[in-house]
Chain A
Amino acid sequence: MSAGPEVTVIETPGGAAKRRGGGAPVPSTYGEDAKPRVGFFTDTSICIGCKACEVACKEWNHVPATSSELTGHSYDNSGDLGADTWRHVAFVEQRLAVGGVAEGAPDSFVAEAHRQEVVERSGIVPERDGEGLRWLMSSDVCKHCTHAACLEVCPTGALFRTEYGTVVVQEDVCNGCGYCVPACPFGVLDRREGDGRVWKCTLCYDRLGDDLEPACAKACPTNSIQFGDHGELRARAQERVERLRADGMAEARLYGEDPGDGVGGAGAFFLLLDEPEVYGLPPDPVDTTRDLGGMWKAAGLAAGAIAAGVLAAFAGGSR
């Protein structure tokens, strides 16, 4: 186990002020009970879009069913992460062929299916250059950020940092104020309809205690979702991306793995084959609480302006 210093980055809610200088880890509040930080490495290059993770997550965590309407966005009918979707598989269809742009390729698999149908009915095979379609699939999840905006802005303490360095909502404390919803730079959290509280991935906190891996990782048939020690996963991700690049996939990149990013690095990071925004991920997410000092200063000055305005108003007498 390569337990670097980043492995034990576990924060207290009040740790924000201490840790801004260069992202140094703060001492855990758990003392001897602290566990090595765990996380997910989702290698999207081997995701086959089976959605076993979505199903396993729902089953294990008793997450309510979501609407089953068809979005028309390839095979994605769950849309995005939310209160009732803690793993979400994105499907991106691209005309960009592996190894070069193919002209004359269909726009999507739907278009391709339609072409096949025309071929079968008419017997005429239109001319095509190459195969030309690429299918990106990626299982998204809560990032369990090192600097988690949701946790920092939560006024009740319902969101907390576990002894494993993950971020979890305590449903018996959450009062549904909704502050974490727009605070999350990834749009992970949402309030559950008819319930009033906020729900998200717990990284299967209940399973971790029994040394079980999270349900999604357990169910993943290709090991696209890998669970484990955070430091070990980072090393593995680095190896994997280098290997893919050496094999000619120059577009392979890691996302959320860098502790120098705007959220101090994610507990759950990804290997992507295109820009993050293509998968619905923000290209440069930031924990806005890092600007809080300046914001309090501005609010303080503005409060002072009210006091000064009132005093000045009475300087000229009652008329």
Chain B
Amino acid sequence: MSLPDGERRGATYVSPDAAHENGRGAMTERARFRSYYGRPILKEPVWTWEIPWYFFTGGLTGASSALAAGARIAGNEAVARRATLTALVMTAVNPALLIADLGRPERFLNMLRLFKVTSPMSVGTWILSAHGGAATLAGSSELTGRAPRAGLAAELAGGALGCALATYTALLVSDTAVPAWHQARHELPFVFAGGAMASAGAAAAALSPVSEAGPARRLTVAGAALELGAAQVMEHRLGELGEPYHEGQVEKLNQAAKGLTAAGSLLLATAGRRSRLAALAGGVATLAGAACERWAIFRAGFQSARDPKYTVVPQRLRLDERRRAMADGATQS
């Protein structure tokens, strides 16, 4: 990424960050861009702590439903039962977090006035509602032993809906003007999917007897690999726009996410095969890693919205590129 010429006079503004953060990143160092007193152009999201936790619990719930459905089909009742009950418990937490974050929680039902494909939040609320119904039915049937057929049908439906529930949240953040989210739109769903798989596998592996938990452990390892791999690709593709993922507290969260996910899944895959205690420790670490990952992504979005450089520089480059192409076209014709 090269930057527009810095020789302009007038309101040329060097981000105050650039002054004391020199050496952090090439974009920061070279960033001589113009802005209005360094003020942000975008508004930071108004979402609070409930939302990153919702991303985490949504992933855990959704992938647990999918795991439960798979276990039921495979006849692994021990894992099926635990994954079903995990989904049941988390299904109560999910909407609570989402509703608590609304400016007017009592108007939550206004979300269900429409089904709007241009709004990931609208589609997501319907997915959440449908999945919540299915998971509640499947979980109640599991607990009471009643209506096993309806329970099975609900479990299978919940499994399919759960896959959507775990990934739509990535779309929710990437369909915004926030640079660190929108520019990561191709990779974020896979980071979320990997984190969800790892979370559901880890929870089931920690709760099930080790002799039955093989599939849950394998799901954890596959999920952790997908989460870490997709995050790596995302940061590589973002290039200098990925700086918000490596600043201050976000960098710490990011490192914690990677370390906990890798260590937790490794522990599950090794000692977790024999020791229930190791499985519990590995499961908790993996879950913590997935939570840190969501928090890192959430916070990085705020940082990229706050600093006008992430808004102005890529747009200015895009615009200059387009103008150059147009000028070239004009001279050729």
Contact B104 A197 (CB under 8 A): yes
Contact A186 B119 (CB under 8 A): no
Contact A280 B35 (CB under 8 A): yes
Tell me which residues from 206 to 229 in chain B have a Cβ below 8 Å from any Cβ of chain A. 211-216, 218-219, 222-223, 226
Contact B121 A179 (CB under 8 A): yes
Chain B neighbourhood of A154, CB < 8 A: 116, 119
Q: Is A121 an interface residue (CB 8 A)?
A: no
Contact A153 B118 (CB under 8 A): yes
Q: Provide the bound-state CA to CA distance between A288 and B179, in Å.
A: 10
Are A275 and B34 also in contact (CB < 8 A) when A176-B102, A306-B193, A310-B69 are? Answer: yes
Greatest chain A CB density within 10 A among B11, B66, B190 is at: B11
Contact B41 A292 (CB under 8 A): no
Chain A neighbourhood of B196, CB < 8 A: 306
Taking the closest CB of chain B, its distance from the CB of A212, in whole angstroms, is 30
Contact A182 B45 (CB under 8 A): yes
Greatest chain A CB density within 10 A among B36, B117, B178, B305 is at: B36
Q: Is B43 an interface residue (CB 8 A)?
A: yes
Contact A282 B197 (CB under 8 A): no
Contact of B102 among A196, A311, A318 (CB under 8 A): A196
Taking the closest CB of chain B, its distance from the CB of A78, in whole angstroms, is 12
Fill in one digit per residue for B57-95: 1 if any A CB lies within 8 Å of its CB, else 0.
Answer: 000001100110111011010010000000000000000
Q: Provide the bound-state CA to CA distance between A189 and B44, in Å.
A: 10
Are A175 and B177 also in contact (CB < 8 A) when A181-B45, A190-B46, A313-B201 are? Answer: no
Chain B neighbourhood of A274, CB < 8 A: 10-11
Question: What is the predominant secondary structure among interface residues of chain A facing chain B?
Answer: mixed
Chain B neighbourhood of A183, CB < 8 A: 175-177
Are A310 and B67 also in contact (CB < 8 A) when A16-B118, A286-B177 are? Answer: yes
Taking the closest CB of chain B, its distance from the CB of A31, in whole angstroms, is 20
Contact B163 A304 (CB under 8 A): yes
Question: What is the predominant secondary structure among interface residues of chain B facing chain A?
Answer: helix
Contact B163 A306 (CB under 8 A): yes
Chain A neighbourhood of B190, CB < 8 A: 298, 301-302, 305
Taking the closest CB of chain A, its distance from the CB of B214, in whole angstroms, is 4
Q: Is A235 an interface residue (CB 8 A)?
A: no
Chain B neighbourhood of A13, CB < 8 A: 114, 116, 118
Q: Is B312 an interface residue (CB 8 A)?
A: yes
Contact A295 B40 (CB under 8 A): no
Chain B neighbourhood of A248, CB < 8 A: none
Q: Provide the bound-state CA to CA distance between A79 and B223, in Å.
A: 45
Tell me which residues from 294 to 315 in chain A have a Cβ below 8 Å from any Cβ of chain B. 294-296, 298-307, 309-314
Q: Which residue of B lies closest to A314 (CB)?
A: B74
Q: Which residue of A lies closest to B221 (CB)?
A: A313
Are A296 and B46 also in contact (CB < 8 A) when A283-B315, A319-B214 are? Answer: no
Contact B176 A288 (CB under 8 A): yes
Tell me which residues from 169 to 205 in chain B have a Cβ below 8 Å from any Cβ of chain A. 170-172, 174-178, 181-182, 185-186, 188-190, 192-194, 196-197, 201
Contact A158 B167 (CB under 8 A): no
Greatest chain B CB density within 10 A among A94, A187, A197, A283 is at: A283
Q: Provide the bound-state CA to CA distance between A172 and B101, in Å.
A: 18
Q: Is B324 an interface residue (CB 8 A)?
A: no
Segment touching A, from B23-31, B105-113, B143-151: B105-113
Q: Provide the bound-state CA to CA distance between A289 and B123, in Å.
A: 14
Q: Provide the bound-state CA to CA distance between A300 and B190, in Å.
A: 10
Chain A neighbourhood of B160, CB < 8 A: 307
Q: Is A198 an interface residue (CB 8 A)?
A: yes
Q: Provide the bound-state CA to CA distance between A316 and B118, in Å.
A: 40
Contact B118 A318 (CB under 8 A): no
Q: Which residue of B lies closest to A71 (CB)?
A: B37
Chain B neighbourhood of A189, CB < 8 A: 43
Nearest 9 A/B pairs, CB to CB: A176-B103, A196-B103, A280-B36, A302-B189, A175-B107, A94-B10, A302-B193, A155-B122, A303-B163
Additional A-B contacts beyond A198-B103, A304-B163, A307-B163 (20; CB < 8 A): A17-B117, A73-B39, A149-B176, A154-B116, A155-B122, A156-B111, A177-B102, A178-B46, A187-B40, A187-B41, A275-B316, A280-B36, A282-B311, A282-B312, A283-B312, A292-B175, A294-B185, A303-B166, A313-B216, A318-B79
Q: Can you sample 24 A-B contacts with CB below 8 Å? A: A92-B11, A93-B11, A101-B9, A154-B116, A155-B122, A156-B111, A174-B103, A175-B105, A175-B110, A181-B44, A198-B103, A275-B34, A277-B36, A277-B312, A296-B171, A303-B163, A306-B62, A306-B63, A306-B163, A306-B196, A313-B215, A313-B219, A313-B222, A319-B214
Q: Give the interface of A toward B (CB within 8 A).
A: 13-14, 16-17, 71, 73, 76, 79-80, 82, 90, 92-96, 101, 134, 149, 152-158, 173-179, 181-191, 195-198, 274-275, 277-286, 288-289, 291-292, 294-296, 298-307, 309-314, 316-319
